[in-house]
Chain A
Amino acid sequence: MKVSAALPTGVAALLFESARSRRRLESRLAALVEGHGYAEAILPILDYLEPYESLLTPASRGELYRFIDRDGEQLALRADFTPMLARLLAPRLRSLRLPLRLFYRGDVVRYEESRPGRGRELYQMGVELLGMAGPAPGEPAAEAEREVLGLFLAALGEGGGPVQVVLGLAGCLDAALLAAAAAGEGHTAAELAAAVARRERSAVRRAGSVLLPIVETGLPGRPEELGPAAAARLRWLLALRDELAERFPAVSLSVDLAEFARYGRHPELAAEAGARSYYDGLVFHAYAGAAAVQVGGGGSYGSLFRALGADISAVGFSLNLDGLIEAGEAAEAGGR
């Protein structure tokens, strides 16, 4: 009998040097995060669907591989480590000493249209810093955000290729988007958020002057235009960018609020948000090489724990190891 070596769309077998490259990078990254006090958590690839039902957006539901087990339970393959870790830890937090520093590694499986650079099985490594208090109750845990973003930049350096990191704040455009929608020509706030994220200048110009500089430069004309709380956070983020740009000169760091316009927190905007819509504070993406496929990202997501009944701060990131390796190899070969 002839046996085919074909695999389903979106998955790949790594053999020989490809496998060695991944393991080498994985070892370097594990040593890096363990050196910063993060302990490993090993999580299952299969879980019940039910605990996640209330956390799913249409986008995240669409990427799930789910099925009925032989005993009648609805199960899903792991599509994201963060909600799995959150739902396992939220009921146990009272008995744990905070802050918790955890890291994980393994596959996530997500349905994606078949396109280059977008596999359906991704090997990730990530960290989560849980329960580091802010300066006052209800205040963002800025020190946790600083620690995790710094570790993210250090981890990206292990990939060996040129890296761009874009920083933003989830929900900081909500007030401007809702005001523009209320005063505008029939676009909803969610439609305007999509137009800002796609840099559709003419649609945004019609909607109001506050949003236009954000589309063009990533920043408002003046931080105060976003309201006092968002303005204070933006000033903090710009200072953090400057501090980290000095510490990590090899990484190109920018603040671009338009990039995260769809990470709304207001219910009218959150309903239209993407698959990882649980971010509620600092949020960041990394692009390696020329491709627009992200090789990593993360941010603050305390609201995910609050939705699960635990009021703690949470900040984390994940890295797509094969994307980082590909970008490093392209840089070595002198490609774009």
Chain B
Amino acid sequence: MIRLALPKGRNLEPALAALRAAGLGLAGYEAGGRSLRTALPEDGVEMLSLKDWDLPLYVEHGVADCGIVGSDVLGELDGDLLVPARLAAGRCRFALIGRSAELPAAGSQVRLATKYPRTARRLVAGRSWGAEILRLSGSVELAPVLRLAELALDLVQTGRTLADNGLVEIESVAEVAPCLVVNRASFQRHRARINAWLDRLEAAGAVA
């Protein structure tokens, strides 16, 4: 039985679509239900429902054998996980957001609000301007709106939230994708099944 961790948020739908493409029937699995763990004996898996930020820890520690989590979260953690596939569906982007379309002038110092401080530090390290990174846990767009920070670094999918709040996407920084992550020891034990899932995902064009 492979224990598979699914994310609760925006990556749940692409994750379920990928698992179906990998050949899992998922009969009896209720997406968004209250159950935190569901055994699917026909598929030979047990599903865990976890928050994105907790999921890599469960997989790395071997409580789950594998899982699906955004590359945005992986970029913030030190975990030693295998990442054999990035899903084609559910992609979005990291973007620099502000009240105007201008990047800070060379040599200037600004405040940058984000849920992703490591990603932000890597980004700022390569720029001609500097930034004090303000770590927030949600509603990051409010920071530039209410002038807590000049810039925000956040995920953008359609850009509608930005437009509704009078903000603009100054620069698209990097693509973000839901990723299949696998525990190193589990890969040794379940290599044949995981490779078979990956073969089917690739044949279905569900990974890129």
Contacts and interface: CB of A to CB of B under 8 A. Distances in A.
B15 to A, nearest CB: 18
A287 interface: yes
B174 interface: no
Interface stretch (A178-186, A197-205, A236-244, A311-319): A197-205
Interface residues of B, number: 30
B186 A290 contact: yes
A326 to B, nearest CB: 11
Contacts of A74: none
Given A166-B188, A287-B184, A198 B61 contact: no
Given A166-B188, A200-B83, A252-B188, A291 B62 contact: yes
Interface residues of A, number: 26
B89 interface: no
A42 interface: no
A292 B86 contact: no
Contacts of A202: 85-86, 207-208
Chain B interface, DSSP helix/strand/loop, else mixed: mixed
Nearest to B182: A199
B79 interface: yes
Contacts of B82: 198-199
A254 B186 CA distance: 13
B195 interface: yes
A287 B83 contact: no
Interface string B178-204: 000011111111010001001000100
A115 B60 CA distance: 10
A201 B60 CA distance: 20
A300 interface: no
A292 B84 contact: no
A149 B139 CA distance: 54
Given A166-B188, A290-B62, A292-B186, A115 B85 contact: no
Given A164-B185, A199-B84, A201-B84, A117 B191 contact: no
Contacts of B184: 259, 287, 292
B65 to A, nearest CB: 8
Contacts of A287: 184-185, 188
Interface of B: 3, 57, 60-63, 65, 78-86, 182-189, 191, 195, 198, 202, 207-208
List of 8 A-B pairs having minimum Cβ-Cβ separation, nearest first:
A290-B62, A287-B185, A291-B62, A292-B184, A199-B84, A113-B78, A199-B82, A292-B183
27 contacts: A113-B78, A117-B61, A164-B185, A164-B189, A198-B81, A199-B83, A201-B85, A201-B198, A201-B202, A217-B195, A252-B188, A254-B188, A256-B188, A287-B184, A289-B62, A290-B61, A290-B62, A290-B65, A290-B183, A290-B185, A290-B186, A292-B60, A292-B183, A292-B185, A293-B61, A336-B62, A336-B63
